[in-house]
């Protein structure tokens, strides 16, 4: 088996946000895909070890923040390589509130969702969210995971399915 083939799947680069006891929190993710068109639903995959997983389970809502190619890589570092358990991830990024959910101000688009189903796996929860609101914030080209990896030379957080080790 040549695992390199798995890295040929294409993804975007996102921050998935929600609330923790009334405070905005979130984590970086690349696994999100639209499932149905009417009503629009989207599946996102979040590691059990991510604090955001528990918060989505608690609140039943989340926002997908789409990052563009010109997004400051520090946004990914902030949301992808720290834990919301002991860090206020929005300390340097005053959230915009969209449809009652916190949105990362440097995102190029957002989609808010209400959880309507989920599938558990050994390490990740796949949340199925019905889209409740969506908008484009700026015209930056959506960042693909390949762009993040090859151009920005970014790495995958330890909890990502695409983590390749050191």
CB of 81 to a copy of itself, least distance (A): 17
* In the block, residue with structure tokens 């609101």: 133
**Helix-, strand-, coil-residue percentages of the chain, each rounded to 5:** 15, 40, 40
User: Between 57 and 144, whose beta carbon lies closer to a copy of itself?
Assistant: 144
Q: Are 28 and 52 contacting, i.e. CB atoms less than 8 angstroms apart?
A: no
Of the candidate residues 16, 75, 103, 109, the single one contacting a copy of itself (CB under 8 A): 109
> Looking at 20-28, 31-39, 73-81, 88-96, which segment touches a copy of itself (CB under 8 A)?
31-39
> Looking at 40-48, 51-59, 70-78, 83-91, which segment touches a copy of itself (CB under 8 A)?
40-48
**# residues contacting a copy of itself (CB under 8 A):** 56
Beta strands in the chain (DSSP E): 14-20, 23-29, 32-37, 40-47, 61-66, 96-98, 101-103, 109-120, 124-136
Alpha-carbon radius of gyration of the chain: 15
CB of 23 to a copy of itself, least distance (A): 25
Q: Is 40 in the site for a copy of itself (CB under 8 A)?
A: yes
Of the candidate residues 3, 21, 22, 91, the single one contacting a copy of itself (CB under 8 A): 3
Q: Name which of residues 77 to 106 contact a copy of itself (CB under 8 A).
A: none
**Pairing state between β 101-103 and 96-98:** antiparallel
User: Between 81 and 163, whose beta carbon lies closer to a copy of itself?
Assistant: 163
Q: First-to-last CA distance in the chain?
A: 20
Residue 58, number of CB atoms within 10 A of its CB: 12
* Binding positions for a copy of itself, rule: CB under 8 A: 1-6, 8-13, 30-43, 45, 64, 66, 108-111, 117-119, 121-124, 126, 128, 131, 133-136, 142-146, 160-163
């Amino acid at each position: 088996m040549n695992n390199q083939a798995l890295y040929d799947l294409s993804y975007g680069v996102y921050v998935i946000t929600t609330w923790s006891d009334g405070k905005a929190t979130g984590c970086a993710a690349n696994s999100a895909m639209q499932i149905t068109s009417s009503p629009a639903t989207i599946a996102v995959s979040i590691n059990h070890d991510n604090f955001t997983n528990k918060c989505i389970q608690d609140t039943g809502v989340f926002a997908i923040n789409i990052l563009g190619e010109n997004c400051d890589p520090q946004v990914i570092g902030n949301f992808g390589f720290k834990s919301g358990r002991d860090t206020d991830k929005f300390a340097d990024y005053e959230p915009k509130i969209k449809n009652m959910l916190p949105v990362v101000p440097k995102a190029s688009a957002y989609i808010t969702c209400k959880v309507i189903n989920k599938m558990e796996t050994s390490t990740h929860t796949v949340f199925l969210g019905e889209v409740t609101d969506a908008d484009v914030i700026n015209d930056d080209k959506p960042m693909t995971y390949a762009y993040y990896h090859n151009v920005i030379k970014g790495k995958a957080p330890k909890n990502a399915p695409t983590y390749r080790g050191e």
